[in-house]
Each structure stands twice: as structure tokens, then as C-alpha cells.
Chains A and B, each alone.
Chain A
Amino acid sequence: MVSFIFRRIGLMIVVLFLVSVIIFSLVNILPGDPALMILGQDSSPEAIESLREELGLNKPLIQQYTNWMGNVLMGDLGESLNDNTGVTTLLMKKIPITMQLAVMSLLISIIIAIPAGILGAAKKGTFWDYISTTMALSGVALPPFWIGILLIFIFSITLGWLPPSGYVSFFEDPWRNILLMLMPAFALGIRSTAELTRMLRSSMVETLQSDFVRTGYAKGLMGMSVVFKHAFRNSLIPVITMSGLQLAALLGGVVIVETIFHIPGLGQLIYNAILERDFPVVQGGVLFIAFGVIIINFIVDIIYSLVDPRIKLGGQK
């Protein structure tokens, strides 16, 4: 276990380093001068040049990179070029919002996937199975932004049940906060819902056909009991793994949903920062997401090994 953890940490450092180099390069390859973006068309060439000097944009790239990385390693992600707010402060503000969105998404996915998957497996080959599988297929095929706009159209414009967009802090107004998060969480999670449903269904189908289940039937256990107590729990393992991975994937997919539903989260922050050429925010944000994904995967692996005694971390037999 210990060696596993050490290896993982080592891997994490390598990955984060690579990510930092990649994002730094990408952001600097982009045409577009941050100083010009900040000062705008109105300003004089002298003002733009002096701002470039001030922001250190004229230094050689390697030096800019090492300056930035050096600060990051000391915990300083820099300041937004736009309004000088600390990047860390911005991240701290936006991350909980996006996390809430991602977690709610996952929860909704799970809540839908469990009955859908079980139904599909238990009634394999019947009409219910086809409904379940079709929904799953659509979920993978339909893009979140389309679903999002459709939801707004149905529930906000036509029915007037939900406000179309916006965000209110949970601490300010918990009910409204949840209400506003419903549609975006659903739209964001549509793919997860689909994949989890399929995963659970096929996992259960397999389990239901396995020896120990047939033994259960032979012993005279009722159908439902078999399904729920035995098959379901055993099928959970791949689903747990998948949920963790989905969470990581959701973090990356929030940008569009946040834009449509006007949720001021991490996705919006990074998206706007790219448009504004706000390098420190883009770099800091992406680095954080990479870090988050790595941590989540790590935790998933630990849980996986705890849940299934057959799995030993580190790949030992």
C-alpha cells in the first residue's frame, strides 16, 4: 500500500509538470496580446508597451515559465491580469460552485441510472429494457448544450416552472440554489447518466448469470431478493469506479453548461480568461483541474480496493 501511494505521488508530480508546460505553451502560442486586451483599442502604443514591461511579457518564455512555476510551488498562483485579484482567491470562490454542479450532476445521474440499469438488467430483453437502453443511447449522443437549451425552453419559457439561469449561493437561499442548479446539473450529467446506466445494466446482467446467483436461485431465494441483495451490490464495483471517473470528466465539461445557465463557476472563469488572454487565470485554473482529476482518480482507486477484497493495489496478484 505504501509503495503504491509513493508511486502515485511520483506519477502525479510528473503529470502536473507536463500539464503546466503544455498549458503555458498553449496559452502563449495563442495570438493576442493581454496588454492590448486590457487597455483596449483606445490606448496609445506607449501605454501598451509599458504595460507589457510591467507584466513581464517581454521576458523570454523560459524565464516567464520558471517565474510562474517557482511561484506556484510556493503556493502563489499569481494575479489576474485583468483586475489584479489573486488567482487563488478566484479559484477558491469558483471551485465550490462548480463542485456543487458536478456533484449534483453525478447524484442525479446515479439516481436515474440505478433504477434504469436494474430495470434493464432484470427485465432484459423486454420492453422496459429497450426503453432503458434507448434512453442511455440518447444520453450519449445528445450534447449537453442542446439538452440544456431544450430544458430552458420547456421548463422556463413554456411552462415557467424554473428560472432560466442564474446562481444564488446555497447559504443565501438554499431552496433557490437547488432550483437553479437542477437543469444545469441534469444537462451536464446526461452523458454520465447514460454511461452509468449501461454500465450498471451490463454489470448486473453478468452478475445475474454468474454461479453464485444461480446458487441463490437454486437455494430458493425469491427473485427480488436475489436482484437487490446479491447481484446489485456486486455490480456496484465497476459503477463506483466509473462514478469517480465521471466526476473528473464532469469538471472538464462544465464550461458550456455554465455559460448557458449563467453559473459563475470555474468553467466560466477559465473560458472568459481565455478570451481575455488572462494567462495566470487560465494556467492556474487548468492546473487546478488537472490536480483535481488526479486526486479523484487516486481516491477512486483506494475505494475500489477497499470495496473489492480481490483487488490489491499496486498490481500484485
Chain B
Amino acid sequence: MKRLILLTILFIMTFVTTACSDSYTQKHSAVNDEEEKDTLRIGLDDEPPTLDPHLSSSAVDRQVMHAVFDKLVDIDEDMEIVPKLAKDWDVSDDHKTYTFYLEEDVEFHDGTPFDADAVKFNFERMLDPEVGSARIDEVEEIEKVNVVDDYTVEVVLKDPHAPLLGALTDRAGMMVSPSAVEEMGGDFENHPVGTGPYEFIEKEKNNYIGVSRYEDYWDDEAKIENVIYEPYTDENIRTTNLTSGDIDLVSLVSPKDANKLEEDPSITVDSRDGNGYLGLHISKENEALGDENIREAIDYAVDREAIAKVAYEGGALPAIDAFPPENWAHNPDIEVPENGVEEAKKLVKESGVEDPSFTLNVPPSETDEDVGQMVQNMLAEVGITVSVEVQEHGQLLDSMESGNFDAIYLGWDGRVDPDESVSKFFMSDGYNNYDKIDDEELDSLLKEARTTLDEDKRATLYEEFSEKLFNLHEHVFLVHPDEIKAMKKNVEGFVHYPDGMVRPHELDFE
């Protein structure tokens, strides 16, 4: 009896302490206060697997690479393409030859010069089948690269390719040092050498990546001397380290955490509409999903607004096509009928499928599980049974590649050029066509949209594409999640670019 009482007291005390503080307190962290403000600590959502832009395929790599590498061109806050290593460029009348005029007096961190030969080396490396670059689908259209003079280089395409410049604002445009690659071979990805405002210092696996200001940078020098990137896979630990620890900036914040952090006076939360989308990849092999009527019913039955409001706590926009409302390729006219749920119920009955059901795989995050459950409830209302299964990331990728799934909730974080957000997913020969969509019209629309450079014409084509895709009902778009970052109040100069990449050389401490 006495023991029971003691245990109960112990538990009550613990719960009281836990329940007392609801919000994060702004106690100054127990950090070594002597540490001068010369180091910016950025909390990443994962450990970057590689720092070689030609081999990289994770979004998290790009964060670190943006400190170490410059691209040929960049984007501004409004997603317009602006000069970077290429100070200017011409496009030939047949749209197949791009001539880039390079900045002069630029050096790689190893002292070797950046010039047209280096650019040629970079493109050829991306195209080399032996290298097996992950950039291949971004640069496939390139036929050859010619060095005109030290600072002028021609990129010749097989066909006009509108997404090219967009691709060059990111990894495909990041210039690596040819001599470093030749010297280090496979080890280059652990010791990247670029022309960027920071040079790579060291990397400790699962611990941190350290970079330091490059004193001979050709453009505006970085303000903060050192940047340390630390991977925190658990989002709670990540945000805790922001509020009570050493991290100055977190590059990926969930909407739930964002709402909590906004109440913390020592933290700035910067949220902007995201450029990507999340939705259901569908396999027609499943009996229910193979039926057109059922799929149409799903598109009508899911309440996208509710998902954005509840599962994402307002940190997302409902999505009915691949492009968020801000994007020029967006189609504002696609609508789900007013009485969508009723329509859906009718469709399910019409389909003649007995007891339609399927399994929905979701990634292992709280938000994704919530979405899974919401979809499950919404579809149950119209007579479709969904069982939600949480699958760990590696398994999910595997399921998608092998086609071993009914439906998967996943998405894409969007790219500067609309083509890169859709062609590999929805073209019949796309590398990532998990829905196994095979529609001639879609193919030709996308093909035309990428081979013409006229933005207005392209916008019309994409609108047509989105409408057709919706009517096929072979992919269910759900939301455009917001792009959210959070940082300590004393971090200044942060500009939230649409590609979600932190450009640390622009930041400073108050």
C-alpha cells in the first residue's frame, strides 16, 4: 500500500511538472555564452548522403551545396532567372543553342580557375553514363558543349528544351572543380570543391558538416564566418534545439511546430506558399482502383480543404493540380463538383465493384498518418474501405519502384520550371511514372510545352494538361504544403526563396 502511494505521488509530480509549461519558454540556452557570433548553426532534417551535385538526389544535400557551390544562373524571390556564374546568355533563333558569357576572375576553392573548359567538364560529367549522374534527365537534351573562348561556352541541344535554364538554377548548374574531381575521384562527394561563398572544411558522419567563408569569393562575401550543418532526423529534437539549444536556423519545420514556434518571442517563423505538391499515387492493378468510376469518386470525395486545415493546421493549400496557385502554370478552373460526396457515392454504386477497398501506404510522420486517416474516413463515407499502412522511407521507395502498392501518399517539392515537376511523373516514359499513366494526349501536351519557349503558350498547354490529368483520375492531388523555416530572432537578412534553399552568405547576426 505504501509503495502504491509513493508511486502515485511520483507520477503526479511528474505529470504536474510536464503539464505546467504549455509553451516553449524563452530561457536562454545553456550555451557557452563566450562563443562569438561567428558561427551559424543550421539544423537539417536529415544527414546529406552526398555533397556532389552531380550525384545528389536528396533535397537535404542541396542546402549544404548552396553554400559551397555557385550555379550558372540563380533565381530571385519571385522565381525569375537571374545571372550568377553566367553573367549573361543568348539563345539562338532555333532555341537549340545557348551561349553563356561567364564571369571572369572566378576561382574554385582549390585555386584553379573557373572558365569555359570547366563548364564543359561539368556538363560532360553529368552526361557520362559511367558516372551515372542523377542529373541525367535534366541534361539529356544536351547534344554537345563547345568552348568558344575562355569565358564563353555554347550548349547545343538536340531539341528546344524550355526547362534548361530552370534546371541550371540548381544542382545541374552547380559547377564543380574539374581538377578536384580528377584528383579525388570517388572521394569528391565527401570533400566538395566549388566556387561558392563558403568552402568545405570537414564532415563527421551523423554529426555535422562544417564550412568556412571563402576569402577570395568573386561576389559579395559572406557575412558570417562559419556555418555548421547538423542533421536531426527527429523533428521534435530539431525544434527543441532551436528554442533551447545551439541551433540558429531550422530548414524544415512542420506546420504543427510552426504554430507553436510563432508564440515564442525568441524565434522568427518564416512561412511561404510551397512550390510542390503531395498526393496519392495510384496503381490500377488494384480491383477498385482499376475502375474509372471509383477513381473519379475518390477525386470527388476527398475534402482537400479539410486536409489542409486539419492535418496541416493551415500550413498547406488544397491542390487539384501539380502547380500551386502562385505558379504561372497553374490551372485555376479545375473544380470538384459542389455535391462531390453525393456524386462520389453514385459513382461507387455505378462502378459495380463489390466492396471496393485498397491499402494506402504513408510515410512515417505524424502529419502523413493524419492525412491517411482523414482520407480513410472520407472514402468510408462514400463506400470505399481504405486501410492505412505506415511504411518507412526505404520501403516506400521500394514499393513505388517495384509497383508493389495500391496507393501511396507522396509528392514532389516542385522545381523552378513546371516541366520538371510533372514530366517524369506523368509522361508515359517518365522515370518516375509510378501511376503508370499512358496517355498520348498528355504526352504530346507535355512534349510541346517543353519544346517551346513562349511562356504564355506554355501556360495554356499546362492548363490543358492539368485538366486532362484530372479527368483521367489516375493521380489524386491533395495539398501544396507550405515551405516553413524558423530561426532565432537574432538571425537577419533571411530571404525566403521559392526553392526553399537557405543562402547562408546573405545571413548575419544582429
Contacts and interface: CB of A to CB of B under 8 A. Distances in A.
Contact of B244 (A50, A160, A259): A160
- Point out which of B190, B232, B234, B244 has the most chain A C-beta atoms below 10 A from its C-beta: B244
Contacts of B113: none
A150 B18 contact: yes
Nearest to B232: A262
Secondary structure class of chain A's binding surface, majority of residues: helix
Interface string A19-59: 00000000000111100111111111111001100000000
Contact of A272 (B31, B47, B50): B47
A84 B6 contact: no
B47 A84 contact: no
B136 A43 contact: yes
B387 to A, nearest CB: 19
B398 interface: yes
A85 B10 contact: no
Interface in A148-206: 150, 152-154, 156-167, 176, 179
Interface in A248-288: 259-260, 262, 264, 268-269, 272, 275-277
B390 interface: no
B17 interface: yes
Interface in B381-421: 392-395, 397-399, 401
B177 interface: no
B471 interface: no
Nearest to A40: B57
A165 B132 contact: no
A137 interface: yes
Contacts of B28: 160
Interface in B20-60: 21, 24-25, 27-32, 47, 49-50, 55-58
Contacts of A160: 25, 27-30, 244
Contacts of B27: 157-160
Interface string B55-98: 11110000000000000000000000000000000000000000
A45 B240 CA distance: 40
A132 B196 CA distance: 60
B240 A157 contact: yes
A83 interface: yes
B241 A157 contact: no
Given A42-B57, A137-B7, A157-B21, A36 B397 contact: yes
Interface in B176-199: 186-187, 189-190
Contacts of B55: 39
A275 B394 contact: yes
Contact of B207 (A51, A159, A167): A167
A24 to B, nearest CB: 18
- Point out which of A162, A164, A268 has the most chain B C-beta atoms below 10 A from its C-beta: A164
Nearest to B230: A262
Contacts of A131: 6
Given A152-B240, A260-B234, A44 B136 contact: yes
A244 B340 CA distance: 65
Contact of B132 (A39, A260, A275): A39
Given A43-B136, A138-B10, A150-B18, A156 B395 contact: no
B244 A156 contact: yes
For the complex of A and B, the 10 pairs showing the least CB-CB separation, nearest first, are A40-B57, A160-B27, A47-B132, A32-B394, A264-B207, A42-B134, A42-B57, A264-B206, A134-B6, A164-B245
6 contacts: A31-B395, A134-B6, A157-B27, A164-B241, A259-B233, A264-B204
Interface of A: 30-33, 36-47, 50-51, 82-85, 90, 93, 127, 130-131, 133-134, 137-138, 150, 152-154, 156-167, 176, 179, 259-260, 262, 264, 268-269, 272, 275-277
